[in-house]
Structure 1
Amino acid sequence: MELKLARVEIDQKPKKIDLKKIEESAEKEGSVIFYFDRENSHKDLLALQDHIEASGKSFYMREVKYGLADSEYMYEVHILA
C-alpha cells in the first residue's frame, strides 16, 4: 500500500510513502505523526488504521482544514505505541 504525504507547496505533487516505511517510523519513534494529502482515498486510510491497530498500536486520524475552500484539507494521523 502506498499513500501520498501532504504537499509542502501547493503546486507540487505529493510524495509517496509505503506501508513498510510507516511501520519502521512508528517502531523507531514509538509515536509518530504523519500528514497525508487529500488525494488519498478515505478507504486507504481506514485500511491503514486497521493494519496499525492489528499490530497493537493506537491510531488517531482527523481532517485538517488549512483554507476556506472545500478542497483545502489534509489528513493528520497519529500512531502511538
Structure 2
Amino acid sequence: MDLKLARTDLDAKPKKIDLAKIEDKVAKEESVIFYFDRENSHKDLLALQDHFEEQGKSFYMNEVKYGLSDNDYMYQVHIMS
C-alpha cells in the first residue's frame, strides 16, 4: 500500500510512502505522527488503521484544515504503542 504524504508546497506533488517505511518508523519510536495528503482515499487510511490496530497499536486520525477552501485539508495520523 502506498500513501501520499502531505505537500510542503501548494504547487508541489505529494511524495509517496509505502507501508514498510511507515512500519519501520513506528517500530523505532513509541509515538509517530504522519501528515497525509488529501489525495489519499479515506478507504486506504481506514485500511492503515485496521493494520496497526491488529498489531495492538493505538491509531488516531483527524482531518486538519489549513485554509478557507474545502480542498485545504490534510489527514493527521497518530500511531502509538
TM-score range, shorter chain: over 0.9
What is the aligned-residue identity percentage? 74
Divergent runs of 4+, >4 A: none
Quick one: distance in 1 between partners of 2:65 and 2:10? 14
TM-score (norm 1): 0.99
- Give the unaligned 5+ runs of structure 2: none
| Partner SS, residue 67 of structure 1 | coil
Q: Which residue of 2 aligns with 1:32?
A: 32
| Partner SS, residue 49 of structure 2 | helix
The Cα RMSD (Å) is 0.4
Question: Size of the alignment, in residue pairs?
Answer: 81
Pair 1:42 & 2:39 matched: no
| Partner SS, residue 9 of structure 1 | coil
| Partner SS, residue 76 of structure 2 | strand
Q: Map of 1:6-17 to 2, 5 A cutoff?
A: 6-17=6-17
